[in-house]
Amino acid sequence: MFSFFRSRSRPEPTSPAPSVTAADAPSVMQRLRAGLARTRERLGASLGNLFLAGSRVDETWYEQLEEALLMADVGVAASQRLLRGLRETARREQIGDGAALRLRLVDQLTDLLRPLERTITLQDAPPTVILFVGVNGAGKTTSIGKLAQHLLSSGERVLLAAGDTFRAAAVEQLRAWGERNQVPVISQAQGDSAAVIFDGIQAARARGVNVLLADTAGRLPTQLHLMEELRKVQRVAGKALAGAPHEVLLVLDANTGQNGLAQVRAFDEALGLTGLIVTKLDGTAKGGILAAIAAERPIPVCFIGVGESLSDLRPFDAREYAEALLS
């Protein structure tokens, strides 16, 4: 289930994630487990013996656990934090058997990931302007289309802005999502991204639209002139509407693993990210990257993508994620 907060204030990173109803929970967990299967299999190949009944917890056990976590792109900082917490728990509760520590590891991972939970905030005074950024191929346009459907199903009026002016295919892809959802798309035959998004904001205000979803061209953080262009887009949006963009979402391909952490840092330093959408978790064995983000650059994860269907773009829930990854 999707829900969206409404607030006049800027979003806070630690707002709670939306709850899932009891009726919806089994299907959510099934999809999440299926989506994280490759990461879980990689972890399982290394963790299986560690969590067997009768396995002895000693220094070698902890070293093997750390190696398994690093293989799943959990990262050094997050792995050390998880191991430190697990050691303290084992000592405090006098646990010497590996099987008893599996649930404790789920608890430790949940605690690490919990600060990443956050729901998209919609402004009381529309329109809410949501800017999507990221590298080429991360899934920005598809994420916009899926989120537009969820917003429509929640009763919101939506407008799309085709701010990726570098690729005609990106504009056509966004138009296809617009036709599918019966949502207007603002675009220009010529012009830059900032001009398109300025026009999009003006159109959203004139038409009484609740949410404007604005696409931008993919770029690498090392392309400094293109990162400066994003800053221009942000400034122009603020001139068109005070406080805009209200959300700046980095769409991150989970397959990039630890390189994704560098993307988070760079885009956050340039723009001040309000959240992440982590896509393609179903196609990677690097699902531990969320733990690395939590430990080293805790930008909230608003949504995760664990498949191709609309229902596979899910609000992020730390406990569900930890259980799907480790159980």
Return the higher-pLDDT residue of 298 and 326. 298
State mean pLDDT over 190-203.
Answer: 92
Q: What is the SS3 assignment for 137?
A: coil
Task: Report how far Cα 44 is from the mean position of its chain's Cα atoms.
Answer: 24
Confidence of residue 165 (pLDDT cuts 50, 70, 90): confident
* In a shared domain, residues 210 and 249: yes
* In a shared domain, residues 91 and 124: no
Nearest CA to 258 among 72, 82, 94, 42?
72
In a domain, 322, yes or no: no
In a domain, 182, yes or no: yes
* In a shared domain, residues 155 and 273: yes
How far apart CA 297 and CA 271 sit, in angstroms, is 14
Structure tokens, 241: 């509407």
* In a shared domain, residues 183 and 36: no
In a domain, 20, yes or no: no
- What total of structural domains would you count in the chain? 2
Confidence of residue 26 (pLDDT cuts 50, 70, 90): very low
In a domain, 14, yes or no: no
CA 86, 87, 88, 91 dihedral sign is positive
In a domain, 233, yes or no: yes
| The predicted structure's pLDDT at residue 248 | 97
Q: Residue 283: count other Cβ atoms within 10 Å of its Cβ.
A: 16
* In a shared domain, residues 129 and 263: yes
Nearest CA to 79 among 49, 46, 30, 55?
46
* In a shared domain, residues 312 and 191: yes
In a domain, 289, yes or no: yes
* In a shared domain, residues 187 and 130: yes
Query: What is the CATH classification number for the domain harbouring 128?
Result: 3.40.50.300
| The predicted structure's pLDDT at residue 167 | 78
* In a shared domain, residues 47 and 153: no
Domain residue limits at 222: 119-316
In a domain, 291, yes or no: yes
- Domain end position, chosen among 99, 115, 131: 115
pLDDT digits (tens, 9 = 90+) for 206-262: 999 999 999 998 898 888 888 999 999 999 999 999 999 999 999 999 999 889 999
In a domain, 2, yes or no: no
